[in-house]
Amino acid sequence: MPFGDSKADAYCWNCGKPYPWTERQYLATAALVNEEELLSEEDKRILTSSLSDLANDTPNTALAATRFRRIVAKVGGTFKTAMYTFIVDFSSETAKKIVLGG
């Protein structure tokens, strides 16, 4: 892959913790979720608590991705676009396949 096409890693290869730019993206995405007036408080809680399961393959990734699809479909528009950008840029391959249908 040419240098200009590479993307920064989201997680430390050694310890698995998110890098600062990944952590900032989590916080920004959680803030976006909490700003969405069309979501219930329960849906907001579910989405924000699912971010790390979407980003990493865990036993809960499939559940998190399924919930993501269901909840984001309720809103649509700019919110949906921003949330799908998170999936494309920060989620695991498993989550991408479930959410994007690939």
Convert the pLDDT of each residue in 39-73 to its tens digit.
999 999 999 999 989 988 889 999 999 999 999 99
What is the number of residues in the chain? 102
Distance CA 20, CA 42 (A): 28
Structure tokens at 73: 């479909």
Is pLDDT of 37 > 90? yes
Distance CA 44, CA 36 (A): 8
Task: Using CA atoms of 58, 52, 43, 89 in order, give the dihedral in degrees to the nearest 10.
Answer: -110
- pTM higher than the cut 0.95: no
